[in-house]
Amino acid sequence: MKISTHYLFGLLAMATIVSFTSVSILAVNANTCVRLVSDISYGQTDSASGGSITMLQGYLQLNGFFASSPNGHFGPATLSAVKVFQTSNNISATGYVGSLTRTAISNKTCSISTLLTNTVTSSSVLAPVVTSAPVAAVSNTNITSPSTGQVLSVGSTTVIRWMNTPPSIFNLSLEQPGGSGAGFIATSQSTNTNGNQYVWKVGQVFSSQTNSNVDVTPGTYRIRLQGASSGASSNDQTSGWFTILAQQFGVSSVVPSSAYADNTTSVVLFGTGFTTGASVYFDTNYLSLRANNTYISPDGTILVFTIPTTIGSGVHTLYINNGQNSTPVTLPFTINSIN
């Protein structure tokens, strides 16, 4: 095909004009070449980045990684979206928009027109940059909850909701970026049960490998609704990518506040994030004066212990930690005298 000289130079003139415009493109569409000229990190705003955050958010939104409207603030939703993008492009999911992430976005949205490059041979003339539409992430995101960028805590409860009627018998599976399965949230569910929703204890899934319930590690995930007999397909309803965080460790109270050191009386700690590694010590941390754990609730909110007979009567300080590397929580406690 022969290109008109007037048409060619018209394009070159347009390219010259574009080259003198600002690098901050705030309205991102399918034809926008997204070049982020500096690194961006969590907590920054457009005022510090020259509009780059809005441009980044626009790109992530256009490609299904970011559900909110661009606002120029690098907050938790943007951080989660960046991590998902990085994982899907084999970049370490740090959430920091460095040179690798900026280059990946640029490579997906900006290209040199080979047609014009091959036609214009004069070394004094630069071929214009012609933007190409980025490949949009194809996903039937009709699972409306959890939503893209949402942050959930392990052990909490959330309601999974979807729009379209699923197969008569279906499974809800948890997926990691790249499509690898993390386990089943629910199996062999009927469309007549609970309508278009399911109550999920966040983080708990059924593993077909161990044939048991397991807790997933904190990270980025999405949910897939698929036929129980047909397995996963491109027509499945999926959720947006969301983040699961470890439950924060904390202690709110001890009941009762005094007891006998008889290795029998139960003392209850109420809090969040108790794990099997939780320990209770008296007056110092990580030494021999340790209580005997008798029960830890599956949701990590209750720990029950008894007091060894070696603990003397009087006022003590409980040191409660969630493993050797955690910062202990301290509470006052009294050992009653045995008359």
Tens place of pLDDT per residue across the chain (339 aa): 444 444 434 443 444 333 333 333 345 666 678 888 888 988 888 877 777 888 898 888 888 788 777 888 888 888 888 888 888 788 888 888 988 899 899 888 886 432 333 333 333 333 333 333 333 344 567 899 998 888 888 878 899 999 988 888 999 999 988 778 899 999 999 987 778 899 998 889 998 888 888 888 888 899 999 998 888 888 899 998 888 887 778 899 999 999 999 999 999 999 888 877 789 999 987 777 899 999 988 778 899 999 999 999 999 999 998 865 567 899 999 999 977
Which one, of 157, 332, 174, 337, lies nearest residue 256 by Cα? 332
Identify the pLDDT of residue 60: 87
> What local confidence, expressed as pLDDT, does residue 93 receive?
82
**Separation CA 295–CA 263 (nearest Å):** 14
SS3 state of residue 197? strand
Residue 225 has a pLDDT of 94
> Would you say how long the chain is, in residues?
339
* CATH number of this structure's domain 250-335: 2.60.40.10
CB distance 57 to 48 below 8 Å: no
- The pLDDT score that the predictor gives to residue 31 is 63
113: DSSP letter: -
Q: Measured in whole angstroms, how far is the alpha carbon of residue 252 from the centre of its chain?
A: 27
Provide, for the chain, the percentages of residues in helix, strand and coil under a 3-state DSSP scheme, each rounded to the nearest 5: 20, 35, 50
The answer to whether the beta carbons of residues 187 and 170 sit under 8 Å apart is: no
* Residue 184 near residue 225 (C-beta atoms within 8 A): no
Predicted pLDDT at 332: 95
What is the C-alpha separation between 328 and 323, in angstroms, rounded? 9
Model pLDDT, residue 324: 54
Q: How far apart (Å, rounded) are the C-alpha atoms in residues 43 and 41?
A: 6
CATH topology of domain 5-131: Muramoyl-pentapeptide Carboxypeptidase; domain 1 (1.10.101)
Q: Examine domains 5-131 and 143-245 and report if their fold is the same.
A: no
Pairing label, strands 151-153, 242-245: parallel
Q: Which fold has domain 143-245?
A: Immunoglobulin-like (2.60.40)
Per domain, the residue ranges of the chain are 5-131, 143-245, 250-335
Structure tokens, 5: 């000289």
Q: Other C-beta atoms within 10 Å of 316: how many?
A: 20
Asked whether 55 and 34 are in contact (CB, 8 A), the reply is yes
Which residue(s) pair with 296 in the sheet? 303
pLDDT at 28: 65
